[in-house]
Structure 1
Amino acid sequence: MQVWQEFWITGDVDGRGIPVSNPDGPLDHALFLLCARDTVKLLRNHASLALWVGGNEQVPPVDINRALKDDLKLHPMFVSNQTTKKQGKYLSQDSADPSKYLDGTRVYIQGSMWDGFADGKGNFTDGPYEIQYPESFFKNSFYKYGFNPEVGNVGVPVAATIRATMPPEGWSIPIFRKGIDGYIKEVPNPIWDYHKYIPYSKPGKVHDQIELYGHPKDLDDFCGKAQLVNYVQYKALLEGWTSFMWTKFTGVLIWKTQNPWSGLRGQFYDHLQDQTAGFYGCRCAAEPIHVQLNLASYYIEVVNTMSDELKDVAVEIQIWDLDGASPYYSVTEKIAIPPKKVKQIMEMEYPKMKNAKPVYFLLLKLFRVSDKEVLSRNFYWLHLPGKDYKLLEEYRQKTVPLEIGSNVSVSGSTYKVRMSVQNKSKKPAAESAASVSTMELHDGNGSHNISQEANSEVQKIGLWSKICRGAVVSRSGDNLRTVEVNGTDSGVAFFLHFSVHTSESSTQENYRDTRILPVHYSDNYFSLVPGEKMTVDISFEAPEGSKPMVILRGWNYHLNHAVTM
């Protein structure tokens, strides 16, 4: 992790506004510098510290800026990584004593939009902070400068957070008003407006991204569709920047991970510390070795951010339609990707095929040829040009068979749960026997199965609740509980997600948030094609006296199976 460390100057309150607020920055410049120097001494030995920045969207007053530049000037040995005559001169002589420098190892930048960031001149060339077409992030015209110090997007949380943080008057969803130009303007209720709601449409520029999935019926429907959009937006944002890695872009910072209150702006986790689906979209896109689809060119790309060449790998490409069939399957030849590079592999053929379906799923897997280990997995839901996702409304009625396993370890109030979910749909017979799709996905620890260590720690095993007919509970070994959910349909188990609750009951009329927060998931908001299995590690602290339970829900899985502990 690399840390961008700013001092306490901000364009929000220093030197801006009408009239100009606080034009000379802090009231006591000497005290500011005393604190700044003390902070440098506190943090300078941390390996993760990348650079010092004078202020956010502003620079410090002249005297403070001059002092910080002098205090944080680079030691000659750190001036450049490139061999220059000047550097050779420094290295050929005795250098100054590094201990005399406050911190001579890192660059000082006077402000977040100066000295090489954004346009480098302090103009407002960060952002944007609004909804985009996902393919826009992959276009060369989207952002002009090498490093964007701030870019954001949407971030509505799940419906439970809205109900837990707002009175019932705030539970109404935006009004969708269609203009004569065909664009929809979302009009939020006054409470959402007060909480800085960023809409999922941008009239005149971006058609409403929630309406692509069908008009939302209520708060739960709106927030559920918002999670789909959150996931797509943040994954596309990072994949788009990564697609231009070191050819146009050098970096990007997302503003922001969270709101300091119950805001409805871009965020990865809400005011109650529950992650939005955008977090997991970002998490997918940010892996150091990554396979992705360029949504502008429709070329499959492999990203290698590592310092070593990536060899002996291939990409598996699967298309699944809403009928549970796999009309396209391919595995590339063995490829190699140079270090710190993005390599185009091949163009996606399916959208140009004669019988391409208007809505389909794409699964990409980058795997090592020698042992079939999956290095990167990336799942998309896509539509043909000019189409939308409204067919996914009907897909909610699918009943895909699942096998769900649980293993629980309890130590005091700390719970560690390992959940496994497998899509038991039958795979089409035509699919190639060379497919690696039946392999279990790696969990956060790089292991496939429940470890012996986890088994030995188990103190208490949860029993599955039979919430619907067709659920068959079985026991495997001493510690693993499994439940099989019968289903009549084959296809993708779409957009599954876990949540952790107390066993209390709640109704919309007498609402009580039953979630236990925060909870750490190794992954969430995931989809499984027929035959696939995923393992998710869950950890949390349970309130005293509570009986936690883990609940699984999904776009086409509404049985709310729970494991009670």
Structure 2
Amino acid sequence: MLCARDTVKLLRNYPSLALWVGGNEQVPPDDINTALKNDLKLHPLFESHSENALSIEEEDPSQYLDGTRVYIQGSMWDGFANGKGDFTDGPYEIQNPEDFFKDNFYNYGFNPEVGSVGMPVAATIRATMPPKGWQIPLFKKLTNGYTEEVPNPIWEYHKYIPYSKPGKVHDRIELYGIPKDLDDFCLKAQLVNYVQYRALLEGWTSRMWSKYTGVLIWKTQNPWSGLRGQFYDYLLDQTAGFYGCRCAAEPIHVQLNLATYFIEVVNTTSEELSNVAVEASVWDLEGACPSYDVFDKLSLPPKKVMSIGELNHPKSENPKPVYFLLLKLYNMSNNSIISRNFYWLYLPGGDYKLLEPYRNKRIPLQITSKTSHKDSSYEIEMNVQNKSEKPDPKILTYKNKFANRREDGEFDMASLEPIHDKTEEKQKAGLFQRLYRQFPRETDGSKITEIKGSDVGVAFFLKFSVHALKTDNKGGEDTRILPVHYSDNYFSLVPGEEMSIKMSFEVPQGVTPRVTLEGWNYQCEVHTVI
């Protein structure tokens, strides 16, 4: 009890603390449970607002540690899961993303634990495991049409969660094509991580207060180099699942219900949002925009989920088998973007294998970087623009420029402009003009990097990372600087769209950092020396 009371005193002033729980998957013994219930309540002096409240005889205030929060005796009791202590939490494995939205997915209002896969990037595997652990799983075809992943013994020891569940979930990595090596496997795993955790949280918020009251994700990280569900790995590098979850966790969020294909807007705030619109644009693998809809003059009630309208593309004539969907919720008074959500989708019964040849697309990018640092602390802003030609700039309501995310996690809506009727000049480059050029802009000290390309389309699944610049780099050496805090990562840009990514990090003394950009259709790393 001394330990428990000391813990309460240590943590009770944190505003993010929601409640106290006596035991994880258990209830404390009766004597401890009774003492905790007594300690975690208000001092009698504050229980009444009457004039006689101040006349109550003073008692030892240390006996009443925190009466401002609910005390739950155990993590699966008193309203959590089925409320009776049975193991009705989870699941902790791969799911079909659309299942999170279905009524039969989870039967109770508050899920105290639910999780999924959590494979890190290939660099982390190589940095934390011997070469025998670099072998990717064998994809064993079963007679029922499903695939069983057979991981190597080291992955098995590190609690690897497969990306398939034979009999229920077809292998989510195999949907993109059988991986060739560790790098290919881990990249496809990040695609699945992003989709999986975004769908997990969007499925819950889709039923906010109508079916679900809350959910806790297990877990954010592994205390060792585990291969279970995680948002950042043992070396503090965020997985794509982190950014998928954070996208879905916006206070005001536009999303696609993957079970009904209706567009929804979630407003978790206490204020009504009026005079807003949703823009839904579908982009194909050729860079065209075959479907475009605007739902305008909307009012979003507080603490509610509003169904806006159905996505037309899957039911349209000759729909694309694999396509991208960009949803934007914006304020009609000034065209500022409130929420942005980017999906890659396939028709029912299909797969993502057409994305494999899409890797050969060369989409021109322009990256403008601005750096400030003091001693070993760096802050960098990278503005990335998809310079490929828009299919028809007249149809877009506003300029495809996404608002910056501030340090507090909110978005800075300033300086967003309506689009002008202007077609950008298409950059022409040959097959071997894939290199970039970099030069300083004399006016403000920023640097511009251009990635040449002659194709039009989506710059898909871009990822920044920071590395130590080394001239004597040994083959396979992990040069990443970790941790790095990004305003966003694993992002995609449609033609004409631009986005600013902010990053901050510390570097060891004497180390020069460089920023690297990779992507699905950018196998060659682009380096910017700071």
For 2:14, which of 46, 49, 55 is the aligned residue? 46
1:78 and 1:104 in contact (8 A); partners too: no
For 1:169, which of 132, 135, 149 is the aligned residue? 132
Any residues of structure 2 matched to 1:85-484 within 5 Å, and which?
Answer: 94-95=52-53, 99=61, 101-429=64-392, 431-444=393-406, 446-447=411-412, 470-476=435-441, 477-484=443-450
CA displacement, residues 438-470 of structure 1 (integer Å, 9 cap, x when unaligned):
2343232544799xxxxxxxxxxxxxxxx9655
Mark the CA change 1:317 to 1:437 in structure 2 (over 3 Å): closer, same or farther.
Answer: farther
CA displacement, residues 221-251 of structure 1 (integer Å, 9 cap, x when unaligned):
0000000000000000000000000111111
Aligned-partner Cα distance in 2 for 1:515–1:271: 13
Aligned-partner Cα distance in 2 for 1:275–1:179: 33
Mark the CA change 1:505 to 1:199 in structure 2 (over 3 Å): closer, same or farther.
Answer: farther
Q: Which moved more, 1:261-270 or 1:537-546?
A: 537-546
Which secondary structure state, in structure 2, belongs to the residue aligned with residue 366 of structure 1?
A: strand
Aligned-partner Cα distance in 2 for 1:180–1:77: 70
1:74 and 1:107 in contact (8 A); partners too: no
Who is 2:35 aligned against?
67
What letter is aligned with 2:513? P
Aligned-partner Cα distance in 2 for 1:315–1:246: 23
2:202 and 2:248 in contact (8 A); partners too: yes
Which secondary structure state, in structure 2, belongs to the residue aligned with residue 333 of structure 1?
A: strand
Which secondary structure state, in structure 1, belongs to the residue aligned with residue 296 of structure 2?
A: coil
Task: Confirm whether residue 524 of structure 1 aligns to residue 497 of structure 2.
Answer: no
2:403 and 2:414 in contact (8 A); partners too: no
What letter is aligned with 1:417? I
What letter is aligned with 1:49? L
1:260 and 1:271 in contact (8 A); partners too: yes
Aligned-partner Cα distance in 1 for 2:185–2:330: 37
Aligned-partner Cα distance in 1 for 2:103–2:235: 37
1:54 and 1:108 in contact (8 A); partners too: yes
Who is 2:510 aligned against?
545
Aligned-partner Cα distance in 2 for 1:386–1:211: 14
TM-score by length of 2: 0.91
CA displacement, residues 354-413 of structure 1 (integer Å, 9 cap, x when unaligned):
111000000000000000000000000000001100000010000001001111112111
Any residues of structure 2 matched to 1:492-531 within 5 Å, and which?
Answer: 492-504=458-470, 510-531=475-496
What letter is aligned with 1:116? G
What letter is aligned with 1:151? V
Alpha-carbon shift at residue 75 of structure 1 (Å): 6.1
Aligned-partner Cα distance in 1 for 2:45–2:345: 51
Who is 2:420 aligned against?
none
Which secondary structure state, in structure 2, belongs to the residue aligned with residue 49 of structure 1?
A: coil
What letter is aligned with 1:492? V
1:403 and 1:485 in contact (8 A); partners too: yes
CA displacement, residues 248-283 of structure 1 (integer Å, 9 cap, x when unaligned):
111100000000000000000000000000000001
Aligned-partner Cα distance in 2 for 1:415–1:512: 23
Mark the CA change 1:483 to 1:180 in structure 2 (over 3 Å): closer, same or farther.
Answer: same
What letter is aligned with 2:86? N
Task: Confirm whether residue 56 of structure 1 aligns to residue 56 of structure 2.
Answer: no
Mark the CA change 1:46 to 1:485 in structure 2 (over 3 Å): closer, same or farther.
Answer: closer
Aligned-partner Cα distance in 2 for 1:432–1:134: 34
1:468 and 1:559 in contact (8 A); partners too: no
Which secondary structure state, in structure 1, belongs to the residue aligned with residue 194 of structure 2?
A: helix
Who is 1:36 aligned against?
4
Aligned-partner Cα distance in 1 for 2:46–2:311: 45
Mark the CA change 1:203 to 1:480 in structure 2 (over 3 Å): closer, same or farther.
Answer: same
Unaligned runs of 5+ in 2: 416-431
CA displacement, residues 60-100 of structure 1 (integer Å, 9 cap, x when unaligned):
11111111112223568999xxxxxxxxxx65574567946
Please give the root-mean-square deviation of Cα atoms over the aligned residues, in Å. 2.0
Who is 1:85 aligned against?
none
Aligned-partner Cα distance in 2 for 1:505–1:387: 46
1:291 and 1:376 in contact (8 A); partners too: yes
Task: Confirm whether residue 557 of structure 1 aligns to residue 522 of structure 2.
Answer: yes
What letter is aligned with 2:437? V
Who is 2:452 aligned against?
486
Alpha-carbon shift at residue 543 of structure 1 (Å): 1.4
Aligned-partner Cα distance in 1 for 2:471–2:312: 50
2:321 and 2:347 in contact (8 A); partners too: yes
Who is 2:429 aligned against?
none
2:76 and 2:87 in contact (8 A); partners too: yes
Alpha-carbon shift at residue 433 of structure 1 (Å): 4.1
Which secondary structure state, in structure 1, belongs to the residue aligned with residue 384 of structure 2?
A: strand
Q: Which moved more, 1:61-70 or 1:234-243?
A: 61-70
What letter is aligned with 2:10? L
Aligned-partner Cα distance in 2 for 1:125–1:536: 40
2:487 and 2:502 in contact (8 A); partners too: yes
Unaligned runs of 5+ in 1: 1-32, 80-89, 451-466
Which secondary structure state, in structure 2, belongs to the residue aligned with residue 376 of structure 1?
A: strand
Q: Which moved more, 1:237-246 or 1:543-552?
A: 543-552
Alpha-carbon shift at residue 126 of structure 1 (Å): 0.7
Aligned-partner Cα distance in 1 for 2:34–2:323: 58
Aligned-partner Cα distance in 1 for 2:472–2:351: 35
Who is 1:82 aligned against?
none
1:238 and 1:282 in contact (8 A); partners too: yes
Mark the CA change 1:101 to 1:504 in structure 2 (over 3 Å): closer, same or farther.
Answer: same
CA displacement, residues 110-130 of structure 1 (integer Å, 9 cap, x when unaligned):
000001111111100110000
Aligned-partner Cα distance in 2 for 1:77–1:118: 35
